[in-house]
Structure 1
């Protein structure tokens, strides 16, 4: 695939130093159309087709056969949205062979036709102005879409989009004023989708070409369990967290000798968190995200990476003893939960895993009877997520923080631990702290948060002094995480992303 044929969109991607413009009236349609067209062109090239054969003049007003029907929509559209639909390309639909159609992205089928453009029913139910809701992209065949009725909805009053994978999700976005985290400029949504491609979480290849792990592709698009770029960024975030802790440990009145400056040879070849031979003994899959992270991340000299959470044992016997899942039988494409950072409470405060309480949704990893070898009680700690690598919308780079207590048990509390969508952690749940909730850029509600984002959150807690640091690392006990349901909940909140 010759990516040099693609336009350079670097200056158009939304970044902290390149945010959506606030000096345009309505949609920034030129920026949005360029990002949209990039995805159309990317899929076209991935299919092995020359860009010269893509009809750049095929758009909403010309592509659906009845141009009069499409033009009849124009007076009901904001001028900037109409300009976007004039400029955004649409892949040709092969009516004689529908399977040859190239979906717009892993999340969306493409721009909808004129007969489904206006969400009149939803506008009525949600008490929105007439013609205010436009179903910009269909999502029926997208990753994690359930049935019909969802879509990428453009609000013509606020000039923002929200993606709903199913009808049931609409309540997450209304009223609009009360859910600003759900609604984003279109260029922000498209940037997130393009970023997934650039980091290798989503890859594109000819639709007839088999996918890794027998994943069922969405046209040319393939969702990967994790990517090498994600390992790299996660290890970098780990190093920043370690540096933040080490900087404070070195300032103690009597800093321990163990954290004195290391030699140049050790700096060039630092000891990994866990050696490959130790991971082999624990049957950690090779390759896997857990193995890549544990063997590439350096092992610091302190013991506690977070309140009550220890570094993983470096010896085989200790590491294997901390792994209740990786040694269990599993299917070919299963990545089991791996305990990265065990709680120092050990077996004293075990967690009961049942079909209704476990965050590991694969049946291999919760006890269904006394005859199974799956443990019904495990120790608290930070685990990687269990995934079927050929499943939809999985995150092997994700985590589950199992805590020996639950949140928000008091119905009358005015504050509480919250997920990224600002909804309260479900009452009685012990593993939802730091998780997503509704995803404003698409995807399954249950896809777990990425480990690198958790490490970044913990680094900020150290840097801001919310967590204190002593000779052994981060101070406090596992119960320190209970602060998440106090008026300090924002310290334990990860802003929404994909």
Structure 2
């Protein structure tokens, strides 16, 4: 990792180094240091000179001195702007993949704070990602990423201390989910994996005739990858832990396993494209049990080959389009009308969709591609009697998990764009519930059908089906 990121490692939010607890102002020194580290990393990683960053950047308040007399700004916010660096408006380096940089716009959110609107737009969004940005509330001294003004914004959402959000952005850089690439990359760069191979990373688009950057490349030098090597390796490690734990609880002796979850020939028949799903399925250990979670079967070769949403007509189509892949199958079906993320056209909404755990479809050319995102599809939702919200079942933002695919999902994400929970989050939930004994193991694996998930809508059970967002976790 770059020196600029290493230099602020002691400032990252961790359980041993929590955010400022009192809420009486921004932790401005910490936040400015994290902000500057992200900016400087983007500058250096894109092939620019480190010393030149200090020469060309300035503290934001130095470039906007009139703000020092703005009574609207809290003293701690002013102190942050005195230390947080910015580049000239015409510069090509943006703070992060969806944010241009510091942008001061006060108030304008009476609909969210009708009694006392002390909000300000602290970071403006790159135009192709939305029309708002990172909003900071000077009443609570918390912030939230709000990319689009048309999306709901309420005080009840999971607003976070700014140092938590900046920590998450640095974690995304550390994991190589967000990558700053060299300025001379035209279309494609590559990430080196632990196995020594290279994986494609899409660069900012350029005009094919002149090679000049298009106006649409508003996030330069940043790009975001569909999955990072660390995502895959940690999923494989978790899978090994799950298999070992369940087999131990089944009373099976440890055995040397060489067989993988699925053979490459099976993946070929199912037309699973190169990418995260193929890597995971062809490397994960084959278990000696049938059920990895209540009502969810590990895939057999014959069953997996009949993927419901993979194109089997022989046309490979666009290599950037990855279909939804059914990973662990349940026995029931639901209407695809409930599952907009499957991308069905209107005339096919009545098709029946098998329940189970899906790796969601991914457009690798989209603004937030995520090949390791997953959705648990149940044969029921959690709306209470009379079509009211679920009583206890919750998404990560504490909103009700009403629909049949809402469980274990994030809801409004204060750190990041809207996206599905990572497969790692689901696997961690499985391991925790089996290891604690909350889920019982029998001779077939994890016992109980999909109805076991109904406990998510109980006072005693909701926390067993909840994914925590934030530094050191999921984002």
With structure 2 as the length reference, what TM-score do the two structures score? 0.85
- Correspondence for 1:262: 255
CA contact (8 A) 2:271 2:310 kept: no
Question: Matches of 2:112 and 2:407 in 1, distance apart?
Answer: 32
SS of corresponding position for 2:166: helix
Compute the displacement of 1:465 (Å). 2.4
Deviation of 1:278 (Å): 1.6
**Cα distance per residue 1:122-142 (max 9 Å; x no partner):** 147522436x22221112436
Match of 1:451 among 410, 423, 428: 423
1:412-434 per-position Cα deviation (integer Å, ceiling 9, x unaligned)? 566142211111124xx322221
The offset of 1:227, in angstroms, is 1.2
In the alignment, what sits opposite 2:197?
Answer: none
CA–CA distance in structure 1, aligned partners of residues 379 and 145 of structure 2: 35
From the superposition, tell whether residues 170 and 401 of structure 1 become closer, same or farther in structure 2 (CA, over 3 Å): closer
Aligned to 1:473, which of 445, 451, 461? 445
Give per-residue Cα distances to partners, 1:328-371, cap 9 Å, x unaligned. Answer: 5442211111111111x2xxx322224xx224343xxx26547x
Matching residue within 72, 85, 92 for 2:88: 92
Structure-to-structure mapping, 1:3-402, within 5 angstroms: 3-4=2-3, 8-22=7-21, 26-55=25-54, 58-64=58-64, 67=65, 69-73=66-70, 75-94=71-90, 100-113=91-104, 116=105, 118-119=106-107, 121-123=108-110, 126-129=113-116, 132-141=118-127, 143=129, 145=130, 148=131, 150-171=132-153, 173-174=154-155, 178-179=156-157, 182-207=158-183, 209=185, 210-211=187-188, 212-213=201-202, 217=217, 218-250=219-251, 259-263=252-256, 266=257, 270-286=258-274, 288-313=275-300, 315=301, 317-325=302-310, 327=312, 329=315, 330-343=317-330, 345=331, 349-354=332-337, 357-362=338-343, 366=344, 368-369=346-347, 376-402=351-377
Q: Is the contact made by 2:389 and 2:400 (CA closer than 8 Å) also made in structure 1?
A: no
Contact 1:353/1:367 (CA < 8 Å) preserved in 2?
Answer: no
Deviation at 1:20, TM superposition (A): 1.7
> SS of the residue aligned with 2:150?
helix
Q: Is the 8 A contact 1:107 1:442 kept in 2?
A: no
Query: SS state of the match for residue 167, structure 1?
Result: coil
Residue 112 of structure 1 and its aligned partner are, at CA, apart by 0.9
1:441–1:311: structure 2 CA closer, same or farther, 3 Å change rule?
Answer: same
Q: 1:464 aligns with which of 431, 436, 454?
A: 436
Residues 9 and 296 of structure 1: is their aligned pair in 2 closer, same or farther, counting only changes over 3 Å?
farther
Relative to structure 1, the CA distance from residue 128 to residue 43 in structure 2 (aligned partners, 3 Å threshold; closer, same or farther) is farther
The answer as to whether partners of 1:152 and 1:161 remain within 8 angstroms in 2 is yes
Counterpart CA distance in 2 for 1:78 and 1:260 is: 63
Range 189-198 or range 415-424, more displaced? 415-424
Q: Contact 1:59–1:87 (CA<8 Å) still a contact in 2?
A: yes
Query: Which 5+ residue runs of structure 2 have no aligned equivalent?
Result: 189-200, 206-216
Give the one of 415, 436, 445 matched to 1:441. 415
Contact 1:108/1:142 (8 A) holds in 2: no
Mapped contact 1:60–1:70 kept (Cα < 8 A): no
Structure-1-length-normalised TM-score: 0.82
In the TM superposition, what is the alpha-carbon distance from 1:484 to its structure 2 partner?
Answer: 1.9
In the other structure, the counterpart of 2:213 is none
How big is the shift at 1:395?
1.4
User: Whose strand fraction is larger, Structure 1's or Structure 2's?
Assistant: 2
Compute the displacement of 1:377 (Å): 2.0
Q: Deviations over 1:273-318 (max 9, x none)?
A: 11222212211112x11011112221221111001111111x3x33
Using the alignment, how far apart are the partners of 1:473 and 1:61 within structure 2?
61
Q: 1:103 to 1:213 in 2, by over 3 A?
A: closer
When residues 359 and 417 of structure 1 are mapped into structure 2, their CA distance, relative to the original with a 3 A threshold, is farther
> 1:399 deviation in Å?
0.8
- The corresponding residue for 1:407 is 382
1:24: how far off? 8.7
Unaligned runs of 5+ in 1: 95-99, 251-258
Contact 1:20 1:188 in 2 (8 A): yes
Deviation at 1:473?
0.9
Q: Secondary structure at the match of 1:285?
A: coil
